[in-house]
Amino acid sequence: MIKAVFPGSFDPITLGHVDIIERALPLFDEIIVAIGINAEKKYMWSLDDRKAFLEKTFAREPKIKVATYTGLTAEFCKKVKARYILRGLRNTSDFAYEQTIAQANDNAFGVDSMFLMGSPEMSYISSTVVRDIARHGGDYSSFVPPGVQ
């Protein structure tokens, strides 16, 4: 079974995340959408809410599992026997950042990374943009799956 972990804080999940996950489904037998927990980071949505958003979004897709973890993503991959980390890229800045992490994960843990470019119509969407709109009372519904409010 070929497994991948798609890690993130998902604060909140966006249509950009959904785009990458759905396009990656034919590549893997299972994708574990994994919420990384960082006690030092302040989140806008609670862990329970973020997990519920993910579970609701992918409820009809048996190849997608939702999990939470602490610590290094590559160690979580080893724990769940995932050979790959799946990452979405919006632009060259994302690639420059992700490349270094991917090389370290491969070298230190033997976990390879697979990158998918975000679809052009989704590449401007980020959780940061959604949080900023939400903080100011704006309508962010066109950037997130139904039920993320």
The pLDDT, as a whole number, for residue 66 is 98
pTM, entire model = 0.94
Which position among 3, 50, 113, 127 bears the catalytic label?
127
Residue 56 annotated among the catalytic residues of the structure? no
**pLDDT (tens digit, 9 = 90+) per residue, 33-73?**
999 998 788 999 999 999 999 999 999 999 999 999 999 99
Residue 136 annotated among the catalytic residues of the structure? no
Has residue 149 got a pLDDT over 80? Answer: no
Domains of the chain, first to last: 3-138 (3.40.50.620)
Measured distance CA(83)–CA(93) in Å, rounded: 25
Residue 141 annotated among the catalytic residues of the structure? no
Instruction: Check if the beta carbon of residue 147 is closer than 8 Å to that of residue 53.
Output: yes
**pLDDT (tens digit, 9 = 90+) per residue, 79-119?**
999 999 999 999 888 899 999 999 999 999 999 999 999 99
